């Protein structure tokens, strides 16, 4: 093939997961190549212009590259995260081929794997799929009902307030992204309406220390999938906070106080009218219940380590009287920030996925297809499997498993 060498092990994707796996494979002396359809750190490059890390800077701690800056509880801007990943890749000479997309992953003609890529065909004895924790933007079915003349975009297409057409803005989905975009648009002078779902929240710096730093001292980030109330809980929103402007609280109450109009779930669109459920108070109550859960966790676990838990007072009462209908005539755009779904099955041609489309693995190794691995999947082993400070643990386990598998099976490594 032209441009893409054959390799005994192929890693697909050069975000933090692919790079961490590459680091660990390099350390074990396992020959491999990393195929990246765009550029190193592409997912971060694609975030909106003002994006800042949401977890504190110390979380930029991939294997062999612990955070060494002077602002561990600060929040670097988007481009600095990309530079961190680029430096990381260079630091150990990661064998990344940028601009090579994998269009399909199939069984090889004589065992192993065949990858059809934008640069030709490649065979491999083992493949690690690291194509992202947050893959395909999810739009609820009601999104199809918006008037054709109205701009409807996903968060992925959002860059900055100035890049949007004039008019009011409807943001659908109140996870971290929806809240952050709503805040930015409101500050730019837009009238913003946020259709809310359910999300946990906590203050950014209780007791003068970042909430992620506090939670890291507990079992919160080590929660396994099996401890969630249902498989669908894996799709739940992350903790509402922001890293913009040095980091601050950002949740239902702060948005309401600044003048963003909070609504219930979007239930339908008919002509120029959008309809919303009257469930805003329930959504806020859900977030408050998670606040109480995390307060309990901190209160129970920190003292066992000799640490005094930060004070987390009861949240103030929330007053909800949201409009149930909006006239879309005065709206310039609707932005969907309604989460993500896995997106493997259109190109990974193996029955290696559950009903929701997540890979079924034992510590990252497919339980169905020998030689097929995954890394960076949300809740793959633990809650932290998909975040900067958690993916390294999984990457080390996956790389060791590959090294073991290879020494046992000596699979074909021949080129196409």
Ligand X SMILES: Cc1cc2nc3c(=O)[nH]c(=O)nc-3n(C[C@H](O)[C@H](O)[C@H](O)COP(=O)(O)OP(=O)(O)OC[C@H]3O[C@@H](n4cnc5c(N)ncnc54)[C@H](O)[C@@H]3O)c2cc1C
- CB atoms under 10 Å from CB of 153, counted, come to 15
Name the one range near ligand X by CB under 6 A: 16-24, 256-264, 286-294, 353-361: 16-24
> Is position 134 an interface residue for ligand X (rule: CB under 6 A)?
yes
Residue 372 interacting with ligand X (CB under 6 A): no
Compose the 191-230 pattern: x for residues touching ligand X by CB under 6 A, - for all others: ----------------------------------------
The answer to whether residue 55 forms part of the interface with ligand X (CB under 6 A) is: yes
Least distance CB 180 / ligand X (angstroms): 8
**What string of H, E and C letters represents the secondary structure of the chain?**
CCCCCCCCEEEECCCHHHHHHHHHHHHCCCCCEEEECCCCCHHHHCCCCCCECCCCHHHCCECCECCCCCCCCCCCEHHHHHHHHHHHHHHCCCCEEECCCEEEEEECECECEEEEECCEEEEECEEEECCCCCCEECCCHHHHHCCCCCEEEEHHHCCCHHHCCCCEEEEECCCHHHHHHHHHHHHCCCCEEEECCCCCECCCCHHHCCHHHHHHCCCHHHCCHHHCCCHHHHHCCCCECECHHHCECCCHHHHHHHCCEEECCEEEEECCEEEECCCHHHHHHHHHHHHHHHHHHHHHHCHHHCCCCCCCCCCCCCCCCCCCEEEHHHEEEEEECCCEECCCCCCECCCCECCCCCECEECCEECCCCCEEECCCCCCCCHHHHCCCCHHHHHHHHHHHHHHHHHHHCCCCCCC
Stretch of 48-56, 202-210, 270-278, 299-307 lying at the interface with ligand X (CB under 6 A): 48-56
Least distance (Å) from ligand X to the CB of residue 285? 25
Out of 4, 10, 33, 35, the only residue in the binding site for ligand X (CB under 6 A) is 35
User: Could you tell me which stretch among 41-49, 90-98, 294-302, 402-410 binds ligand X (CB under 6 A)?
Assistant: 41-49
Among 7, 22, 131, 366, binds ligand X (CB under 6 A): 131
Measured from the CB atom, is 17 or 274 closer to ligand X? 17
- Pick from 59, 174, 361, 366: which binds ligand X (CB under 6 A)? 59
Asked if residue 236 binds ligand X (CB under 6 A), the reply is no
Q: How many CB atoms lie within 10 A of CB 80?
A: 15
β-strand 192-195 against 168-172: which pairing, if any?
A: parallel
Candidates 4, 7, 8, 16; binder of ligand X (CB under 6 A) is 16
130 binds ligand X (CB under 6 A): yes
Q: Which range touches ligand X (CB under 6 A), out of 125-133, 271-279, 288-296, 319-327?
A: 125-133
Per-residue contact flags (x/-) with ligand X for residues 173 to 192, judged by CB under 6 A: ----x---------------
Q: Where does this chain touch ligand X (CB under 6 A) — which range of 24-32, 106-114, 298-306, 382-390?
A: 382-390
Count the site residues for ligand X by CB under 6 A: 32
12 interacts with ligand X by CB under 6 A: yes
Angle at 178 between CA 288 and CA 311, to 5 degrees: 30
* Closer residue to ligand X (CB): 69 or 271: 69
Can you read off the two tokens belonging to residue 295? 């307060």
How do strand 102-107 and strand 113-117 relate by DSSP bridges? Answer: antiparallel
Least distance from ligand X to the Cβ atom of residue 25, Å: 15
Q: Give the interface segment with ligand X, choosing from 40-48, 61-69, 158-166, 181-189 (CB under 6 A).
A: 40-48
| 115 interacts with ligand X by CB under 6 A | no
Binding mask 330-369 for ligand X (x = CB under 6 A): -----------------x----------------------
Does the protein bind ligand X through residue 54 (CB under 6 A)?
A: yes
Cα torsion 278, 280, 283, 284: sign: negative
Could you give the CA distance from residue 325 to residue 361 in angstroms, rounded to a whole number? Answer: 44
In the bound state, the residue with its beta carbon closest to ligand X is 15
CB 293 to ligand X: min, Å: 21
Per rule CB under 6 A, is residue 56 in the interface with ligand X? Answer: no
Residues at the interface with ligand X (CB under 6 A): 12-18, 35-38, 42-44, 47, 53-55, 59, 101-102, 130-134, 177, 347, 376, 386-388
């Amino acid at each position: 093939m032209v441009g893409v060498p054959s390799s005994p092990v192929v890693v697909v994707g050069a975000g933090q997961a692919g790079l961490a796996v590459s680091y660990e494979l390099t350390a074990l002396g396992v020959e491999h190549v990393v195929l990246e359809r765009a550029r190193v750190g592409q997912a971060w490059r694609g975030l909106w212009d003002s994006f800042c890390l949401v977890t504190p800077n110390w979380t930029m701690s991939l294997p062999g590259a612990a955070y060494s800056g002077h602002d561990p509880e600060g929040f670097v801007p988007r481009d600095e995260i990309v530079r961190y990943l680029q430096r990381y890749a260079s630091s150990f000479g990661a064998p990344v081929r940028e601009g090579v997309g994998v269009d399909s992953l199939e069984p090889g003609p004589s065992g192993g794997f065949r990858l059809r890529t934008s640069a030709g065909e490649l065979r491999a004895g083992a493949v690690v799929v690291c194509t992202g924790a947050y893959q395909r933007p999810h739009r609820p079915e009601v999104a199809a009902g918006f008037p054709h003349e109205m701009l409807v975009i996903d968060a992925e297409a959002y860059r900055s307030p100035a890049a949007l057409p004039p008019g009011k803005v409807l943001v659908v989905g109140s996870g971290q992204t929806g809240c952050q975009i709503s805040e930015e648009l409101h500050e730019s002078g837009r009238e913003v309406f946020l259709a809310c779902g359910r999300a946990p929240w906590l203050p950014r710096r209780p007791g003068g220390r970042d909430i992620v730093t506090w939670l890291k001292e507990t079992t919160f980030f080590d929660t396994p999938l099996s401890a969630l109330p249902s498989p669908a809980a894996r799709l739940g929103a992350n903790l509402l906070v922001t890293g913009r402007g040095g980091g601050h609280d950002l949740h239902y109450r702060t948005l309401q106080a600044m003048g963003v109009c909070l609504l219930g779930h979007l239930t339908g669109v008919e002509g120029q009218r959008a309809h919303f459920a009257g469930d805003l108070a329930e959504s806020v109550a859900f977030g408050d219940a998670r606040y109480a859960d995390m307060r309990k966790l901190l209160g129970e676990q920190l003292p066992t380590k000799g640490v005094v838990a930060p004070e987390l007072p009861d949240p103030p009462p929330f007053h909800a009287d949201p409009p149930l209908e909006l006239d879309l005539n005065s709206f310039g755009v609707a932005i969907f920030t309604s989460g993500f779904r896995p997106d493997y099955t259109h190109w990974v041609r193996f029955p290696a996925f559950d009903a929701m489309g997540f890979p079924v693995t034992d510590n990252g190794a497919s339980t169905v297809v020998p030689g097929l691995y995954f890394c960076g999947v949300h809740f793959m082993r633990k809650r932290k499997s998909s975040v900067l400070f958690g993916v390294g643990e999984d990457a080390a386990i996956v790389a060791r498993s590959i090294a073991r598998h290879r020494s046992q099976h000596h699979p074909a490594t021949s080129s196409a």
